[in-house]
Amino acid sequence: MTRRQRQVRGACVVGTEVVVDVGPVAHGGSCVARHEGRAVFVRHALPGERVRIRVTEGGTEDRFWRADAVEVLSASPDRVEPPCPWAGPGLCGGCDWQHASLPAQRRLKAAVVEEQLRRLAGLTWPVEVEPVDGDDDGLGWRTRVTYAVDGSSGRAGLRAHRSHTVVPVDTCLIAHPEVRAASVEREHWPGTSSVEVVVSDSGDRQVIADGVVRTGRGHVVERAAGRSWRVSGGGFWQVHPGAARTLVDAVLDGLAPAPGERAMDLYSGVGLFAGALADAVGPDGSVLAVEGSRQAVADARRNLHDVPWARLVEGRVDRVLAGGGAADDGAADGARVDVVVLDPPRQGAKAAVVGEIAARAPRAVAYVACDPAALARDLASFAGLGYRLTELRGFDLFPMTHHVECVAILRPG
């Protein structure tokens, strides 16, 4: 198996098997064990278990190893039989926690968020990860799936963990039923490297092979927050059917935007939060939405054509806020705003964007985060500028995986 490995120091120990006692959960879908004083990040295990592991990455001089649990000697009461036959050591790398019950998965995710907040932001904050309507006991929720294609067989599948190896699968159980109905796994795709399937609650379905739409009309229509949303090509939209409604509700509950207020939506995509804010502040208020993707901004202009008090700006968020990178004048005038929605990519907003937000002195910021470590780092930056965390909710928008979505509310003080 070809793995995306870091440089091994010392003699390679890949394939070595030892018995370890499994400790706490770690960010990224593993648990931490110790072997002769060295940290080992173990997949397919649970805290409190005793397991036999097989090392998948590491050398004799490395500070830590990665490994798979290949035999469970003493099982956790949270352990269940994985529903998918492709979930296990050396198989599909898409699901991290199929061997844990759903309540246990949510506790593990909450523990990761708490640990990242404590370690990176100096915050002790209790976290609960809430279930979200729209999946079938953790399965059948993923409305967008990108399959890799094995070059030799032409079969579509999913990649092994930290590997370029394609594992052909008969069906992906976390995929939405309408994704599975596209039958991508049962076809052959010679000369193709990837196939993406996108479905929506309006009944649209796209099949996109190497960026070219094979089936569908070039966009899908989603429904959320009282509107229909055009999303072109492989553009971003939350993959869990209940995600958009859940996140909009959490943001609006946390910010409580009022008529006449000035709002900002940063990393605004096709305009989901901008539309919700525009409805809340009304024509006497204003919304500035900033997004770097030209196609997403084009979709947003179409989606929000009926709310002229929402201004859509194409450009990198940091450059627009700093006064450059956008054609629209006045986008970065630095004027005070009342509320901000911040929904950055996985790497977070980072200090420059946080500083520009704080300089505009909003009364509240809603931070929508898909990575606990990035969230914690940005919360530390906000704290240094006088903004404190006042609310935090976690949502299980990615059952069976280690991913978790959070909505944090910050206020000055």
Binding residue ranges for S-adenosyl-L-methionine: 238, 267, 291, 343
Question: Are 296 and 314 a contacting pair, CB within 8 Å?
Answer: no
Contacts of 205 (CB under 8 A, 6+ apart): 178, 181, 182, 197, 198, 199, 215, 216, 220
What whole-number distance in Å separates Cα of residue 125 and Cα of residue 111?
A: 10
DSSP letter, residue 202: T
Residue 171's closest CA among 151, 134, 197, 153? 197
Angle between helices 372-384 and 102-116 (to 10 degrees): 30
What whole-number distance in Å separates Cα of residue 179 and Cα of residue 191?
A: 22
Question: Are 244 and 407 a contacting pair, CB within 8 Å?
Answer: no
Residue 198's closest CA among 236, 251, 228? 236
Concatenated DSSP letters for 59-93? Answer: BTT-SEEEEEEEEEEE--TTB---SSTTBSTTSB-
What whole-number distance in Å separates Cα of residue 230 and Cα of residue 207?
A: 16
Contacts of 12 (CB under 8 A, 6+ apart): 58, 59
Tokens encoding 198: 């996108």
Residue 311, strand partner residues: 288
What whole-number distance in Å separates Cα of residue 25 and Cα of residue 34?
A: 13
Tell me which residues are annotated as active site. 370
Judged by DSSP in three states, 149 sits in strand
Specify the residue for token string 């995600």. Answer: 243
Binding residues: 238, 267, 291, 343
